[in-house]
Amino acid sequence: MSMTTNHISSMSIGMASRLSIAKLQTQLQDAQKELSTLRHADVGLALGYRTGETISMRQEVTRLKTITDTNGIANARLDASDVALKGLGKGAQDFLGNLFLARNGGITAKALADVAKNALLSFADGANTTLNGTYVFGGINSDIKPMKAYQAAPPSAAKTAVDDAFQTAFGVSQTDPSVSSLTPAQVEAFLDGPFKDMFETSAWNTNWSSAASNNITSRISTTEITDTGTNSNEPAFRKLAQAYTMMADLGGQNMSEDAYQKLVEKAVTLVNAAITDITRLRTDFGSAKARITNANERMSIQINVLNENVTSLEGVDSAEASVRVTSLLTQIQTAYSVTAKIQSLSILNYIPNS
């Protein structure tokens, strides 16, 4: 029977120790990573085929968070729109008060015309409200200023259309003294006919508004889509513009008292209707904000549940991770100590002195 022996040297033992230390260091890095993140260092290796579950859940969390972030933008747009509409409503209420004064001679026709001109300017400013560089009343054309100024130089299309309609109907301009001869019936026919037509959809979109009639819509949850804005083509805007323009630029100060009162009464009707429309729009905004709040609450619950499920699959116990780190550090220190002793071995230490 023959016997064989393996060659053993301090070098080969030292090399094995170094390889062991390198392996332990890699394990230590993974353990330290797990301790700091409380998540498997290599999720795919730890979970195997169940890795797909966590990927799907993480993707769903990202989608829900994206919708939640978008809802924040929608909420801001609704808030800005509501503030602007509140301002338009306040202006309409103030103007209505002046119209009531005009019924009883509490304000002159010229003074009311000046008030109406200022109201037109404020109306255009409110309709052109912006948020982060976009126009909140532009509908889906949010990058285009929705309302064209009536009083402009050169004259706006709306101003030109009003002047032409008045000239065609009566054969004179609004500033002509002969306007005083217009009867209440003539004024009423003009207001209900050619003048009203200038605020219908086709003429309004041509002369007054550049807004789109389609509102911005937002996905507020995985299953819900809702309007999160409005546009200056809404009846509220057209009625206010109509009332302000008739009192500012139809020559009311040159009309007879009876004809002028016909103008005032028509303006009162329009402003009252506009205030009602503004209230409806603001109510719609409130409903949209409530839906967004409810959707965010539901999505927050979903996100929490999904995160808990992901953690249960990918997570590691902090106590176990800490023990593992401590154990690996001890092993590495021991390995370093053994390696140092092996490297210090030399056959010269065992040769007797001669």
Output the pLDDT for position 55. Answer: 82
User: What is the rounded CA–CA span in Å between residue 278 and residue 96?
Assistant: 14
3-state secondary structure the chain: CCCCCCCCCHHHHHHHHHHHHHHHHHHHHHHHHHHHHCECCCHHHHHHHHHHHHHHHHHHHHHHHHHHHHHHHHHHHHHHHHHHHHHHHHHHHHHHHHHHHHHCCCCCHHHHHHHHHHHHHHHHHHHCCEECCEECCECCCCCCCCECCCCCCCCCHHHHHHHHHHHHHHCCCCCCHHHHHCCHHHHHHHHHHHHHHCCCHHHHHHHCECCCCCCCEEECCCCCEEECCCECCCHHHHHHHHHHHHHHHCCHHHCCHHHHHHHHHHHHHHHHHHHHHHHHHHHHHHHHHHHHHHHHHHHHHHHHHHHHHHHHHHECCHHHHHHHHHHHHHHHHHHHHHHHHHHHCCHHHHCCCC
What are the residues whose beta carbons fall under 8 Å from the beta carbon of 320, sequence distance 6 or more?
A: none
- Structural contact between residues 309 and 32, judged by C-beta atoms closer than 8 angstroms: no
User: What is the rounded CA–CA span in Å between residue 266 and residue 284?
Assistant: 27
Output the pLDDT for position 33. Answer: 61
What are the residues whose beta carbons fall under 8 Å from the beta carbon of 172, sequence distance 6 or more?
A: 166, 178, 179
Please give the model's pTM, rounded to 2 decimal places.
Answer: 0.79
Q: Identify the residue with better confidence: 255 or 8.
A: 255
Mark residue 215 as left, alpha or beta (left: phi above 0; alpha: psi -120 to 50; beta: remaining): beta
CA dihedral 279→285→291→293, nearest 10 degrees, is -120
CA dihedral 277→271→117→142, nearest 10 degrees, is 10
Mean pLDDT over residues 56-83, rounded?
Answer: 95
pLDDT in tens, 84-126: 999 999 999 999 999 999 998 899 999 999 999 999 999 999 9
User: What is the rounded CA–CA span in Å between residue 40 and residue 47?
Assistant: 9
pLDDT range class, residue 67, cuts 50, 70, 90: very high
Output the pLDDT for position 6. Answer: 54
CATH architecture of 55-306: Up-down Bundle (1.20)
Output the pLDDT for position 52. Answer: 75
Residue 315 φ then ψ, to 5°: -75, 155
pLDDT in tens, 179-197: 999 999 999 999 999 999 9
